[in-house]
Structure 1
Amino acid sequence: MHSCIDRKIRSLCFMFSLSDLILVFTSSAKHLCPPDQREALWEFKNEFSVQKLDSSWWESDLKTERWRNNTDCCSWDGISCDSKTGKVVELDLWGSSLNGLLRSNSSLFRLQHLQSLNLSTNNLPGILPDSIGNLKYLRVLKLRYCNFFGNIPSSLGNLSYLTDLDLSVNRFSGELPDSMGNLNRLSELQLRYNNLGGNFPAVLLNLSSLTQISLSYNKFKGMIPSNMSSLTNLESLEINGNLFHGSLPSPLFMIPSLILLNLEGNSFSGPIEIKNISSPSKLEVLSLGENNFDAPIQGSMSKLVGLRTLELNYMNTRITLDLSFLTHLKSLSYLDLSGNDLKVSSTLHLPSLGFLYLSSCNIVEFPKFLQSQTRLLLLDISVNQIEGQVPEWFWRLQIPHVNISQNYLTGFDGSADVIQRTGGVVTLDISSNAFRDPFPLLPNSTEYLFASDNIFSGEIPWTICDLVYLDRLVLSNNNFSGSIPPCLIFLVSPSCESLTSRKITSLGSCNQTTLLVGAQCRYRLYTSKVIRSIGFQELANRTIVRPWL
């Protein structure tokens, strides 16, 4: 009996051991890349120097520096291999600080089984070699921000499996090659920020699989083709920042899948005609600003009931925009009408509106319809002709980011603490007006205060020291005098020893130039508060960055 049990146990142990052995074998087989693939990758690594660049918007990841020769290349950073053959199918070296030419005989092109290649954000100055067309199994090709120049190679047309192509932020020039018409599987095409030109690429109109096209900020010209509706799967079209002109073909708005349409910054003119749409439009983002439309547009817009973002800034229509058409756009959350003459109904209500730009609209009073906008997060009504006092109801809206600069405002309706009591302000720009005392009391939530170029006088209010989140304070070109609040006394700068060595207690103890630091001085505050930088005046004329710009 015992021997029978022992045999069963031994049999089970053998089975478990065998299964473990199989798992180890298959696991190692899964990750082991062929020697020729490893050699090609190692040679590719040595074709470039690695020069790490300082950048405020991305951090280098030096993947190739962590590669080790004579090890399994499938375990190297940025490499993915086929689970069965071990062939390299993905190479992702985004932001690896590679520096050098991508040559036509690069060992990269020996990786014939690549399906995804991402070399974006490296410095590869030169012409993109025709050899790129030898990687015939590529599905994804991302070469964004690589410093390539010259023509886009016609060999890209050989990549018949390609679904995603990104050549943005380079210096490519000329027209798109006709061979790109062979990319029948292409879904996403990103070509923004190049020097490409010619008419709208007709070669794209036959690629019905396209869902995204971005040709922004190039030198394309001419008129938009009338048969754009052939792109039946198109969801996003960005052609802003080009030289297109003429009227917009109405079929453009009838693409059933279109969600985003950006035509800003061209020379389009004429009317905007949106014919009757059989099914509700899916369009959510529409940007038509900075063009030359010369006919009313509002009647057409009312049919786009799904819009969430609408940019009609600087339309140059010479026609007053009657905003009553917005009544139908109940989902609208972002609206930019800057640079237009407006006719605004006091009963207008946009229940979802969060961001509103009405700069340079010749407005002479605070629009009454604002009183019903309870979800505003940002309001810009700068560069208008609004006079008098800011009404008390305005602060009850509790808008976090407010820009009322460059008007003719003189004060605040109600008591000096009206803003503080209502709360909610994070950014407040009241600069370039005619505000007089008293200086407004602000809520603790305030992070940015721009109050330069007014007529405030007397002492800088000590209540500023209570603003524990204040990050930027600009009070230049006023008539302040007297003592400086204690939290602003310690001005520390390595290049301004005269300020670091002593405590300034009043405006009378130093001349204005010294207090305002001077052209060569950059300084910070180190206090128990968290004010990190102060801008009484930076005489070097450094641009102040505001959240709405």
Structure 2
Amino acid sequence: MPPSCLRLHFLSLLLFTSSFLMINALTCRPDQIQALMKFKNEFESAGCNRSDYLNGVQCDDATGAVTKLQLPTGCFTGILKPNSSLFELHHLRYLNLSHNNFASSSLPSEFSNLNRLEVLSLASSSFTGQIPSSFSKLISLTHLNLSHNELTGSFPFLRTLTNLSVLDLSDNQFLGAIPFDLLLTMPFLSHLNLRKNHLNGHIEVPNSSSRLVYLSLGENQFEGHILKPISNLINLEYLELSSLNISYPVDLRIFSSLKALLILDISKNRLLPAGLSSGSDIPPSLESLVLSGCDILEFPNMLKTLQNLHHLDISNNRIKGKVPEWLWKFPRLSIVSLVNNSFTGLEGSSEVLLNSSVQLVDIAYNSMTGEFPVPPTNIIYLSAWNNSFTGNIPLQVCNRSSLRVLDLSYNNFTGPIPQCLSNLKIVNLRKNSLDGSIPDEFHSGALTQTLDVGFNRLTGKLPRSLLNCSFLRFLSVDNNIIEDTFPFWLKALPNLKVFTLRSNRFFGQLSPPDQGPLAFPELHILELSDNRFTGSLPTNYFVNWKASSVKINEDGSIYMGDYKNAYYSYVDTLDLQYKGLFMEQGNVLTSYSTIDFSGNKLEGHIPESIGLLKALIALNLSNNAFIGHIPLSLASVSELESLDLSRNQLSGSIPRELGSLSFLAYVSVAHNQLTGEIPQGPQFSGQAETSFEGNEGLCGLPLQGNCLSPPTQQPMEEDKEEEEGVLNWKAVVIGYGPGFLFGLLIAHVIASYKTKWFVKIVGPDNHKEVDPVSLFMSLDSRCDSFNNKRVM
């Protein structure tokens, strides 16, 4: 990481996340402890216990007054009220409530009672509305972070806060013009982040020299020529101006006066071609340059002069031809993203990357052909998915001890899989032409978390050494020629969440040998369609299926796989068959929980325990030999949207209770032995006629014609049998207890599996993994570098 970026990171780290100190009863007055505990009791605080809470408290040795309070992340949920006990802690100098959920609270004006505050951080805490004018009384503030909320209005409260050195108001809904005449005359302001608001207007820079070294203004709605004034801020080291929404092209030469500039992000703006052809006017000190999404057509020759370059992102452009050989000779180059261009290859020999200092390379989603180059010696992340590389995967990947992520999916590689997967965390070789078997070489303590070898020509059995992969979370072997029985032994893996076997030659029983529930401790996804499984499923089959808590991202999405460290984030994704259609899902969402056992030879009754899977939205049991009635317990699956039971031997009527499933949008029960009238209502009448064909005893809409007589009542014996089955099922549920409510299973994994990733700029020790918490801070969110574009 560039030294200045690192300095900015650690400045924020020291000021906003200083280390927790265990509270000492000898230094904190009893009345202060009482006020602290009263404050905790004002909220739902299941996210932290007493010890966690008090770890972030510090009191003055002399007076016993609380001077510092830092809540653990996710500790509080509830409304921050004006009469909160928090505002009784008048001696606070440091207050950090960030990353909690204050339930759309407005900011109480009573914050002004804490007039000794020097550091105040309320980032990512769900605050809404305008900032009270009383904030102007916090005249001792040196650091103010209100980022990632839903705050509105403008900034009149800032006029009295002349001691500010760090101000972060990013990711809010502030309006109007920025008072640069005020901000740039603040004597101590060095860090200003106003990114992602609704700010507009012109920018004026006063004649007085500004101390500003960090400026982030991207994703606003500026008007006029704002770049020339910014170029007068000659002390800038970090400048982020992405997505400015201005009408004229940006000439990079305008930044030639910024001799101290180390990091420049001008992504998602239109660039003037002349500024890309020559580097004589570009600050040679640049260490990080982000030009993603700038509609660039040719490789920028101006890069030749940037010998200090550490990080380069020119992804999501339209650059053609080959990547020049000189790029890989930069002595400090560590991170390169060329994703989503039209590159056809790399200049030079197959060893062009061998002696490069680069550690993270992403050349995905291009048109590169030929054999894959020998990877760099210190490579950590290597992604080349969606190209046209041929030949064998280079055996040198086995000699790269630093390599953690290898994604060569969607190419034309042939030959065997390298025998060295244990050292890699992420292995994605999907959709190539690899042959042989999956290496049975996973040693004890293997690091593997994701293994995806779907859509190849692999044979043999699943390697039993996978049991050594205690970190394994994602395993996909679909669309190969693997011949094996169902791997009940994988239930020993404590973290396995995703498991897809679709379209192989698996055979035998799906029921455990003891005929009990199928128990995988953390399984979210199981995909078994189009194999040769036989036998029946016991009624308690799904009782022990469960899913651990899932991660909710800032946009509300709940992702299945999420692998983060200081270098990269990697999200596992799949495609689904849903509502009878193949649908591309950008990420595997737990809200898209489905079961698909279709295309096997399963028989017997559909397990009543299917009704326990409350998160299920799609169920596909088609093309089997199930008999009996459609389970009444399906009416309990309230989120169900897609139901396919076609091509079985089901009998009886379609339960009217399914009409209560308000989200049910797709139904197919075609080619069974069902009788009686199709339930009326929007869930059924809106379906195609083909959804009910092949059942001679069915009548009513949407089939042609009406039923000629009232629906036939079920014989009393049949009713009695069904009632007994339901009663027996209730007993099973009581016996197994209410704790095991649902399992998250998934549908068809088709021929496109994609990955989303983005790289974080890292510390100076390029050979060691770094704690991501120490490097990811809200005050410097735009040291985030690049995010590749998915295939659509």
Task: Within 5 Å, give how 1:205-354 maps onto structure 2.
Answer: 205-217=184-196, 219-223=197-201, 225-227=203-205, 232-244=210-222, 246-268=224-246, 269-272=248-251, 274=253, 281-298=259-276, 299=278, 302-317=281-296, 319-322=297-300, 324-342=301-319, 345-348=324-327, 349-354=329-334
Alignment of 1:190 with 2:187, yes or no, is no
Please say if residues 181 and 206 of structure 1, whose CA atoms lie closer than 8 Å, have aligned partners that are also in contact. Answer: no
CA distance in 1, matches of 2:158, 2:134: 9
Count of aligned positions = 480
Secondary structure of 2:465's counterpart equals helix
Q: 1:386 to 1:103 in 2, by over 3 A?
A: same
Cα distance per residue 1:163-216 (max 9 Å; x no partner): 11111222212222x131221111111122222232334443442421111122
1:432 maps to amino acid: Y
Secondary structure of 1:162's counterpart equals coil
* Alignment partner of 2:46 out of 52, 70, 74: 52
Please say if residues 421 and 448 of structure 2, whose CA atoms lie closer than 8 Å, have aligned partners that are also in contact. Answer: no
Q: 1:118 to 1:395 in 2, by over 3 A?
A: closer
CA distance in 1, matches of 2:106, 2:211: 32
Q: 1:246 to 1:480 in 2, by over 3 A?
A: farther
CA distance in 2, matches of 1:64, 1:480: 50
CA distance in 2, matches of 1:194, 1:352: 36
Q: 1:538 to 1:236 in 2, by over 3 A?
A: same
1:355 maps to amino acid: I
Deviation at 1:419, TM superposition (A): 4.0
CA distance in 1, matches of 2:60, 2:343: 62
CA distance in 2, matches of 1:498, 1:277: 64
* Alignment partner of 2:338 out of 314, 333, 358: 358
* Alignment partner of 1:377 out of 359, 367, 371: 359
* Alignment partner of 1:510 out of 497, 507, 510: 507
Partner of 1:408: 388
Please say if residues 272 and 297 of structure 1, whose CA atoms lie closer than 8 Å, have aligned partners that are also in contact. Answer: yes
Identity across matched positions, percent:
25
Partner of 2:655: none
Alignment of 1:118 with 2:96, yes or no, is yes
Please say if residues 296 and 321 of structure 1, whose CA atoms lie closer than 8 Å, have aligned partners that are also in contact. Answer: no
CA distance in 1, matches of 2:242, 2:255: 24
Partner of 2:150: 171
Secondary structure of 2:135's counterpart equals helix
Cα distance per residue 1:38-70 (max 9 Å; x no partner): 665565444x134223xxxxxx4645976xxxx
Partner of 2:432: 454
2:303 maps to amino acid: L
2:177 maps to amino acid: N
TM-score normalised over the length of structure 2: 0.53
Q: 1:154 to 1:442 in 2, by over 3 A?
A: same
Q: 1:110 to 1:231 in 2, by over 3 A?
A: farther
Secondary structure of 1:335's counterpart equals strand
Deviation at 1:373, TM superposition (A): 5.3
Please say if residues 516 and 539 of structure 1, whose CA atoms lie closer than 8 Å, have aligned partners that are also in contact. Answer: no
Q: 1:405 to 1:207 in 2, by over 3 A?
A: same
1:325 maps to amino acid: M
Secondary structure of 1:90's counterpart equals strand
Secondary structure of 1:270's counterpart equals coil
Partner of 1:500: 488
Please say if residues 334 and 354 of structure 1, whose CA atoms lie closer than 8 Å, have aligned partners that are also in contact. Answer: yes
Deviation at 1:445, TM superposition (A): 3.5
Q: 1:204 to 1:490 in 2, by over 3 A?
A: closer
1:196 maps to amino acid: F
CA distance in 1, matches of 2:176, 2:446: 55
Partner of 1:10: none
* Alignment partner of 2:369 out of 377, 387, 394: 387
1:330 maps to amino acid: Q
* Alignment partner of 2:70 out of 88, 92, 104: 92
Please say if residues 192 and 215 of structure 1, whose CA atoms lie closer than 8 Å, have aligned partners that are also in contact. Answer: yes
Deviation at 1:285, TM superposition (A): 1.4
2:268 maps to amino acid: E
1:517 maps to amino acid: E
Deviation at 1:438, TM superposition (A): 4.2
Please say if residues 436 and 456 of structure 1, whose CA atoms lie closer than 8 Å, have aligned partners that are also in contact. Answer: yes
Task: Within 5 Å, give how 1:131-210 maps onto structure 2.
Answer: 131-176=110-155, 178-202=156-180, 203-210=182-189
- Runs of 5+ in structure 1 lacking a partner? 1-27, 54-59, 67-75, 524-531
* Alignment partner of 1:428 out of 403, 406, 409: 406
CA distance in 2, matches of 1:509, 1:44: 58
| Greater shift in the superposed pair: 251-260 or 373-382 | 251-260
Partner of 2:732: none
Deviation at 1:486, TM superposition (A): 3.6
Q: 1:501 to 1:358 in 2, by over 3 A?
A: closer
Q: 1:508 to 1:227 in 2, by over 3 A?
A: same
CA distance in 2, matches of 1:181, 1:378: 44
Cα distance per residue 1:452-503 (max 9 Å; x no partner): 112224433445779944332101122323444343599999xxx9642799
Q: 1:100 to 1:287 in 2, by over 3 A?
A: same
Deviation at 1:365, TM superposition (A): 1.1
Please say if residues 241 and 265 of structure 1, whose CA atoms lie closer than 8 Å, have aligned partners that are also in contact. Answer: yes
Please say if residues 35 and 88 of structure 2, whose CA atoms lie closer than 8 Å, have aligned partners that are also in contact. Answer: yes
Cα distance per residue 1:250-307 (max 9 Å; x no partner): 34234233121112233244232545867x7222111111223344333468532222
CA distance in 2, matches of 1:142, 1:287: 25
Please say if residues 325 and 346 of structure 2, whose CA atoms lie closer than 8 Å, have aligned partners that are also in contact. Answer: no
CA RMSD of aligned residues (A): 4.2
Partner of 1:25: none
CA distance in 2, matches of 1:277, 1:502: 59
Please say if residues 382 and 405 of structure 1, whose CA atoms lie closer than 8 Å, have aligned partners that are also in contact. Answer: yes
Cα distance per residue 1:216-252 (max 9 Å; x no partner): 23x3233551417757111211223333455442342
Please say if residues 74 and 100 of structure 2, whose CA atoms lie closer than 8 Å, have aligned partners that are also in contact. Answer: yes
Q: 1:467 to 1:508 in 2, by over 3 A?
A: farther
Q: 1:501 to 1:286 in 2, by over 3 A?
A: closer
Secondary structure of 2:411's counterpart equals coil
CA distance in 2, matches of 1:215, 1:430: 38
Please say if residues 224 and 249 of structure 1, whose CA atoms lie closer than 8 Å, have aligned partners that are also in contact. Answer: no
CA distance in 2, matches of 1:214, 1:371: 37
CA distance in 2, matches of 1:440, 1:32: 60
Deviation at 1:137, TM superposition (A): 2.5
1:331 maps to amino acid: N
2:433 maps to amino acid: I
TM-score normalised over the length of structure 1: 0.74
CA distance in 2, matches of 1:411, 1:509: 29
For CA contacts below 8 A with separation 6 or more, give which structure has more relative contact order.
Answer: 2
Secondary structure of 1:123's counterpart equals coil
CA distance in 2, matches of 1:490, 1:273: 52
CA distance in 2, matches of 1:518, 1:284: 52
Deviation at 1:536, TM superposition (A): 12
Q: 1:272 to 1:517 in 2, by over 3 A?
A: same
Please say if residues 369 and 388 of structure 2, whose CA atoms lie closer than 8 Å, have aligned partners that are also in contact. Answer: yes
